[in-house]
Chains A and B, each alone.
Chain A
């Protein structure tokens, strides 16, 4: 497919507080140091949800806002792709606990928050975006699935596409069965045009193989988080060189991303 542009990035995870900090770490200018992530309070959310809304919503809205910041694109004009293996694990846990009790009383708010596209729904309400919104799951390959979907949307003529990849750890007892230990949310803003300043130009293709992306780009503890597949690609952007990184997709296939720096 034709190449497209990466205009903005948002990152939130342990030791990765925002793109500017993550860029220095991923680019090799600064050592990674584990630090528990601060709880984001994105100002786009109404006060009620900023404090009490689902954690997945606060995290995804925070990185989405960061990715849009300073790009020249508005939230309202961006189509959205949200991708996650787990969705809202906390809500799922609470509903399953309620269903295991005799009365089986499920909270109506929790129930509508349990849909996999809840974070995307809150994002569209908060940002006022009425455009296409796709929410996916590809288990460990969730990021690759989301990036391919985003590329498809850019290729189909969407003026701007926001990709948000996230996974937050499940509470116990589910955590033992899906051991994603550290939270991570990453957002990227893409478009087909060089109308606005870009960080890189990406060309993506599918090929046979199992992904060669340097695991060194992924800080310890984050390997098990599906959203961390984004980090080797962002490391190429941070280094400001032309590089190709490939990440594992579905059985026997990899997603190859050629990243060319834009100055």
Chain B
């Protein structure tokens, strides 16, 4: 495929606001997870909560869209000169030629949860202050990003659970390649809510400790929240940097909430991504795993990694730092992958006491400083929805 340069990228998550803060935490091996203290959710688990959302209201022009998720989105857009970079792209291409594709799994559902707790005792009606379209609807976050950045290109929210904000890269590449846009703002935003905390608890997938992907005694996920964005433009001479050189997608066609037992979908997505990038498995120096920390995910992802890469490539999950940010996991880990490429650095798994001896891949548990040629980022979601991205250097 034709590569896309990532001309600007950023994230806000439990590690902090912006790329510099994220790098400091990764290098210093400091986790962003804390004991669950989210509102009234009394569940014994750990979470990756972003500080300060409560005191960061939306600009007045967006006040109808007020909710935790949209606040998190705008907080993300304000980091690392991202909105300024989009402003320059807007001047180059025109606001209607920049697509906006945002991944989320739950958008502003927290507002609906709140509204249901305040239903009228007689009529059952939701409070009049509740705004469905501007908060709960999955498109709401995309609309906020589009308005905040002053863009009017083709816009959509992609919502395929935990692969959502990886798949935005694939869709953006197709839209640009087909000529429907000249550039794209892609991203993902997901925020803490009761539905995911209590939902994952009901599935028995929440860890009672800070999650520790790839550990022998791993017992589940820590839910996190995050926003992240990337500006994608056609790769061209005179625009060197890092970029997307491949993507791969597949469906497990197996189960709604359990991965394929041999990782068949993950294998297909990774092979598809390498083929599009026109590189062999030996040219990948680091894989940022989906690595949720559930026994099943890490086991099957490892099987898939071993089938594709044969155990030579260094793998780790960064969810011990950020938590599993669900619909934002794809963009958070895309941003981390880009930082790893730029900095020449591999973050070794956090919180691991003993690497699961059943895993056959080379799992990094300490940070490594070395030049990376290509980085693969995996994202897998409920419904058996898989996406792998390949990032590399563009000259």
Contacts and interface: CB of A to CB of B under 8 A. Distances in A.
Interface string A189-202: 00000000000000
A252 B256 contact: no
A239 B143 CA distance: 36
Contacts of B112: 92, 96, 174
A1 B177 CA distance: 9
B263 to A, nearest CB: 12
B157 A112 contact: no
Given A152-B171, A249-B154, A124 B252 contact: yes
A98 B198 CA distance: 10
Given A138-B139, A253-B152, A133 B160 contact: yes
B137 A131 contact: no
Contact of B155 (A95, A99, A115, A138): A138
B251 A139 contact: no
Interface string B201-218: 111100000000000000
Contacts of B265: 130
B237 interface: no
B178 interface: yes
Contacts of B153: 250, 253
B111 to A, nearest CB: 10
A134 B203 contact: no
B116 interface: yes
B355 interface: no
A255 to B, nearest CB: 8
A178 to B, nearest CB: 5
A139 B199 contact: no
A257 B124 CA distance: 43
Contact of B132 (A104, A134, A156, A174): A174
Contacts of A156: 1, 174, 177-178
B93 interface: no
B125 interface: yes
B137 A135 contact: no
Contacts of B255: 125
A121 B382 contact: yes
Given A112-B256, A131-B250, A132-B250, A107 B202 contact: yes
Interface in A102-126: 104-108, 111-118, 120-122, 124-125
A85 B160 contact: no
A173 interface: yes
B365 interface: no
Contact of A125 (B157, B178, B254): B254
Counting chain A residues whose Cβ lies within 8 A of the other chain, the interface size class is: 35 or more
A96 B113 contact: yes
A172 B138 CA distance: 19
Given A115-B159, A139-B133, A206-B180, A130 B268 contact: yes
Contact of B199 (A111, A116, A132, A252): A111
Interface string B231-263: 000000000000000000111111111000000
A208 interface: yes
A155 B177 contact: yes
Contacts of A117: 159-161, 381-383, 385
B96 A252 contact: yes
A148 B180 contact: yes
Contacts of A145: 154-156
Interface in A164-198: 172-174, 176-178
Rank and list the top 9 A-B pairs by shortest CB-CB distance, nearest first: A121-B383, A152-B174, A111-B199, A116-B159, A145-B156, A177-B132, A137-B138, A139-B139, A124-B251
Given A114-B199, A148-B175, A155-B178, 13 more contacts: A95-B199, A99-B198, A106-B199, A121-B385, A125-B253, A130-B252, A137-B137, A142-B139, A156-B178, A176-B126, A178-B132, A250-B155, A253-B152
17 contacts: A85-B139, A100-B113, A113-B256, A114-B195, A122-B383, A129-B253, A130-B253, A133-B383, A134-B160, A138-B157, A145-B156, A148-B154, A152-B175, A152-B177, A177-B126, A177-B131, A178-B137
Interface of B: 1, 96, 105, 109, 112-113, 116-117, 119, 124-126, 130-133, 137-140, 142-143, 146, 152-161, 167, 170-171, 174-175, 177-180, 194-195, 198-204, 249-257, 264-265, 268, 381-385
Interface of A: 1, 80, 85-87, 92, 95-100, 104-108, 111-118, 120-122, 124-125, 127-139, 142, 145, 148-149, 151-153, 155-156, 172-174, 176-178, 206, 208, 249-253
